[in-house]
Amino acid sequence: MNIVQQNKAQFDAAIDHLRHDISSLRTGRATPALVEDVLIEAYGTKQPLKAVASISVADAKTLAIEPWDKSLTPAIEAGLRSSSLGISPVNDGKAIRLPLPSLTQERRAELIKVLHQKLEQARIALRKIREDIRREIDQAETDSTIGEDQKFKMNDEVEKLVKDYNEKIKTIGEEKEVEITTI
């Protein structure tokens, strides 16, 4: 197995990270990914919300959060208020409801800017992986484990792989942008 194929998993990991990262960007619909990583002060440490409560979609514009330990309800409410989401939680005694207000045009534009930043971070990650692979290929040539022809062939293979993954990033970005701008 050649050096490029051995490192292909790193490219897949970068795409998976991007997908997870942009899943927390708010669109017009309620999704548990919006709040699952909000840090909550529980049992003396900060924990993600998904570790202390179940998160479900009550309807298209509302999330329902049921803490497993009811004594954590005030801490969850405080954590949600202090998060950057800009959503006011409603505590009904048993669960916390998060009614999501409609996005304004300005907020949609801000989200698209954030999306573009995250897409650029993913492209940067791909370039870093490419440079690591190139160093590995150069080292293999220096060690005489591969010839010059193999080196050029592998470098071309890496470029093709980076191009393919950049197209995936572009497609993911376009889909998310449509999701954000859809009213």
Q: Where are the domains of the chain?
A: 3-22+104-181, 29-99
Q: Which residues contact 68 (CB under 8 A, 6 or more apart)?
A: 52, 53, 54
Q: DSSP string of 3-53?
A: HHHHTHHHHHHHHHHHHHHHHTS--SS--GGGTTT-EEEETTEEEEGGGTE
- Is residue 1 helix, strand or coil? coil
- Calculate the alpha carbon distances from 37 to 32, 42, 106 in Å: 9, 14, 24
pTM (two decimals): 0.69
What number does CATH give the domain 29-99? 3.30.1360.40
Q: What is the pLDDT along the chain (183 residues), one digit of tens a residue?
A: 477 788 888 999 999 998 888 877 766 677 787 788 888 888 888 888 888 888 888 887 888 889 888 888 888 888 888 877 777 888 887 888 888 877 778 878 888 888 899 999 999 999 999 999 999 888 888 888 888 888 889 889 999 999 999 999 999 999 988 888 876
- CATH fold of 3-22+104-181, please? Topoisomerase I; Chain A, domain 4 (1.10.132)
